[in-house]
Amino acid sequence: MPIKKTLSALVLTALMSLAAHADPLSYARYDQVRTSDLYLDLKADFGRKTLGGYAELTLNWIDKSARTLVLDTNELSIAKVQVLNPNGHWTPASFMLDKLDVQKGRALRIALAFQPQKVRVYYRTAPSAAALQWMSPAQTMSGKRPFMFSQSQDINARSWAPVQDTPAVRFTYSARIDAPAGLRVLMSADNDPAATGDGGWKFKMAQPIPSYLLAIAIGEIEVRKLGPRSAVYAEPARIEAAASELADTEKMISAAESLYGPYRWERYDMIVLPPSFPYGGMENPRLTFLTPTMIAGDRSLVDLIAHELAHSWSGNLVTNASWKHMWLNEGFTTYVTTRIVEKIYGPEIAEMNLQVEQEEALVSLLTVPASKQALSTRGPDTDPSTYADGGLIYPKGAWFLRTIEQRAGREVFDPFLRGWFDQHAFQSATTEEFVDYLKKNLLDAHPEYMPQAELEEWLYGAGIPATAARAASPRLAALDAQRAAWLKGELPTADLGGKDWIALEWMHFLNDIEGKASAAQMRELDQTFGLGKSGNNEIAYRFYLGSVKAGYNVREPLNKFLMSVGRQKFVVPLYSALLKNPADKDWARAVYAKAREHYHPVTQASVDKQFKNNR
């Protein structure tokens, strides 16, 4: 009897451990078997808007009694499944697809008589695949060739490949992609600038990655070399502007290496995608995906590049084990971004950037429920609806790390953080694992750097702890005084120093006039500084948002903006503001009816939700 109790306790402990690390957004039983390598052999069909072919998975069996392989899929049409027998022949395997779950898709369950080393799944994607946007020639800059690109994060890789779609599983991959003549194929792998595509476009990613970093782009694309290990790809009409904007890339790589150790991905290439790309950037290793909205003509928005580069250490090198722990990716990366910016552009610019970041975080607390203001949640990962807000974790996580850095000093904190990256390289980690590392390597010897109660408040509490020191830029303080006097009517618009402000100063100025400035003041700003025609999309977005809320008519430039830019950060708040104004609601519906087809499916879903909630 005592022995049975002991065994039961061991089993229970094992099950609890599995539950604590299991990813509720994946069907995969990666406690039983893990993908170690993926090979894709696919053909892009722009007429049908599909990818078709097969995926070959190399498997590492952990549970020797397991006889089922479970993969994540979403809208994939599965033709057949084959397994590699010990005699080297491929033979059919039985499979079934579970009932559709709207969020997670369908589990593909493959029944096996033994534990094969390799499995092949023959399939075709759906035209509506959540990860893929298929663009007609008319939606591209040249108007001559179609374009397609992917966005796999968070769980959309399963819509274009049958995989264990969880950041807990990392694998190497290779691919051969057939595409129409005249189109270049790029992937988050080794892209050869001299490749022609004869015999298919071939790729290899030697470093293990999680599925959300699986990426592909196909289109009329040119390349420009930036440095010995960096290049940029873009549509022909955008390539020169992109190369000019990203000229400091090699400096950024060197700056990051000086802080956190060698860059371990060999090359850092980038592709500037069409404007419908839904995010500012996506850190796909060896090929960062970028929005063209970061091209301002003066390199004023290159902190976005610093952020995506920083992911080469935090996120790509050390990855959150599930999306519950996403702050380990984004909070760390946001902190590292500021350090890179400081190294390249100096402490004054870094301090301004940090203050704007922190102020926007504090403003977001007004709309983010307190229950979602923590960096992480305690206990098992079972309920994704309880996870922290996906936007707040960026600045709050960075603020947390900066707090420890300020107390420990950089001579202590920098080696500590580099040690985290070195010791967990190419691994997936949890919040609990970071806390354990933090205590063993810093806090056990120096508890004064952060008492336990404060540590828990940062990780699991709402808001920003009162102990957090705020960044304070003298230049932004002087700007605050000008803004206050201008809002009161004491300082004429013409006397604002806006002609000499950099982008960060304009962003700071515009962030705090929503609902405070009158329509007349917004008109004067526009007439004096030409904000409605700004080539800096961060400035233009904030000006349009403030104008809509003030009642200043900016429909003509705003219509052009909404028709040409698909970045969620911009279009979702703008449509939301328009829908809340009865005078603008019908106009917003008319614009969206025309603009929707130009947006990526991810953006469409977000804006559709705004219209549904504001009928």
Average pLDDT over residues 134-155: 92
The domain that holds 53 is classified in CATH as 2.60.40.1730
Whether residues 91 and 197 share a domain: the answer is yes
Is residue 380 over pLDDT 90? no
By CB atoms closer than 10 A (0-12, 13-18, 19+), residue 265 is buried
Q: How far apart are CA 386 and CA 403, in angstroms?
A: 26
Total tally of structural domains belonging to the chain: 3
Residue with the two structure tokens 């390799």: 118
The domain that holds 381 is classified in CATH as 1.10.390.10
Q: Are 437 and 423 in contact (CB under 8 A)?
A: yes
- Sequence-distant (6+) residues with CB within 8 A of 521 are 486, 487, 493, 513, 550
Q: What is the pLDDT at residue 21?
A: 47
By CB atoms closer than 10 A (0-12, 13-18, 19+), residue 587 is middle
Q: How far apart are CA 50 and CA 57, in angstroms?
A: 21
Whether residues 479 and 422 share a domain: the answer is no
For the full predicted model, state whether its pTM sits above 0.85: yes
Whether residues 43 and 187 share a domain: the answer is yes
Residue with the two structure tokens 């819509």: 159
- The yes-or-no answer on residue 75 being catalytic is no
Describe the chain by its helix, strand, coil percentages, rounded to 5: 45, 20, 35
H or E element: which one contains 51?
strand 50-61
By CB atoms closer than 10 A (0-12, 13-18, 19+), residue 494 is exposed
Residues paired with residue 60 on neighbouring β-strands, in sequence order: 34
Average pLDDT over residues 172-201: 95
- Looking at residue 416, its amino acid is F
pLDDT bin (cut points 50, 70, 90) of residue 11 is very low
- Sequence-distant (6+) residues with CB within 8 A of 345 are none
Average pLDDT over residues 474-478: 95
Residue 544 covered by a domain: yes
**Cis peptide, bond prior to residue 303, ω within 30 of zero:** no
Residues paired with residue 428 on neighbouring β-strands, in sequence order: 319
- Sequence-distant (6+) residues with CB within 8 A of 381 are 20, 21, 22, 23, 24, 322, 324
The closest alpha carbon to 28, from 164, 170, 213, 169, belongs to: 164
Residue 272 covered by a domain: no
The 3-class SS string of 481-545 reads HHHHHHHCCCCCHHHCCHHHCCHHHHHHHHHCCCCCCCHHHHHHHHHHHCHHHCCCHHHHHHHHH
Q: What is the pLDDT at residue 457?
A: 97
DSSP secondary structure string, 433-477?
Answer: HHHHHHIIIIITT-GGGS-HHHHHHHHHSSS--TTPPPP--HHHH
Pairing of strands 427-429, 318-320: parallel
The 10s digit of each residue's pLDDT in 242-267 is 999 999 999 999 999 999 999 999 99
Whether residues 450 and 479 share a domain: the answer is no
Q: What is the pLDDT at residue 154?
A: 93
Whether residues 29 and 169 share a domain: the answer is yes
The 10s digit of each residue's pLDDT in 119-137 is 999 999 999 999 999 999 9
Residue with the two structure tokens 């060698």: 262
Q: What is the pLDDT at residue 614?
A: 81
Q: How far apart are CA 154 and CA 160, in angstroms?
A: 13
Average pLDDT over residues 572-599: 94
Q: What is the pLDDT at residue 10?
A: 34
Task: Give the up-direction half-sphere exposure of residue 603: CA atoms within 13 A in the CB hemisphere.
Answer: 29
Residue with the two structure tokens 């698909």: 566
pLDDT bin (cut points 50, 70, 90) of residue 3 is very low
Whether residues 437 and 550 share a domain: the answer is no
Q: How far apart are CA 493 and CA 521, in angstroms?
A: 8
Average pLDDT along the chain: 93
Q: How many CB atoms lie within 10 A of CB 193?
A: 12
**What domain range is 328 assigned to?**
318-460
Last residue of a domain, one of 178, 194, 214: 214
Average pLDDT over residues 369-391: 90
The 10s digit of each residue's pLDDT in 437-446 is 999 999 999 9
- The yes-or-no answer on residue 220 being catalytic is no
Whether residues 449 and 549 share a domain: the answer is no
Q: How far apart are CA 367 and CA 375, in angstroms?
A: 16
Q: What percent of the chain has pLDDT over 90?
A: 87
**Sheet with 94-97, side-by-side order of all strands:** 68-73, 106-111, 94-97
Residue 275 covered by a domain: no
Whether residues 495 and 451 share a domain: the answer is no
Q: What is the pLDDT at residue 514?
A: 81
Whether residues 408 and 534 share a domain: the answer is no
Residue 274 covered by a domain: no
Residue 282 covered by a domain: no
Q: What is the pLDDT at residue 572?
A: 95
By CB atoms closer than 10 A (0-12, 13-18, 19+), residue 452 is exposed
Residue 467 covered by a domain: no
pLDDT bin (cut points 50, 70, 90) of residue 387 is very high
Q: How far apart are CA 57 and CA 220, in angstroms?
A: 30
pLDDT bin (cut points 50, 70, 90) of residue 2 is very low
Q: How far apart are CA 28 and CA 161, in angstroms?
A: 14
The domain that holds 525 is classified in CATH as 1.25.40.320
Whether residues 45 and 69 share a domain: the answer is yes
* Among 56, 220, 308, 330, the one annotated catalytic: 308
From residue 78, alpha-carbon distances to 83, 109, 116, 172, 581 in Å are 15, 11, 19, 23, 47
Residue 324 covered by a domain: yes
Residue 10 covered by a domain: yes
The 3-class SS string of 62-131 reads CCCCCCEEEEEECCCEEEEEEEECCCCCEEECEEEECCCECCCEEEEEEECCCCCCEEEEEEECCCCCCC
The 10s digit of each residue's pLDDT in 16-72 is 334 444 899 999 999 999 999 999 999 999 999 999 999 999 999 999 999 999 999
Q: How far apart are CA 295 and CA 300, in angstroms?
A: 8
Q: Are 252 and 241 in contact (CB under 8 A)?
A: no
Q: What is the pLDDT at residue 14?
A: 36
Average pLDDT over residues 418-427: 97
The closest alpha carbon to 230, from 188, 286, 283, 282, belongs to: 286
- The two structure tokens encoding residue 237: 């009409």
Q: Are 341 and 369 in contact (CB under 8 A)?
A: no
* Among 233, 260, 335, 394, the one annotated catalytic: 394
Is residue 484 over pLDDT 80? yes
Whether residues 59 and 97 share a domain: the answer is yes
Average pLDDT over residues 140-148: 92
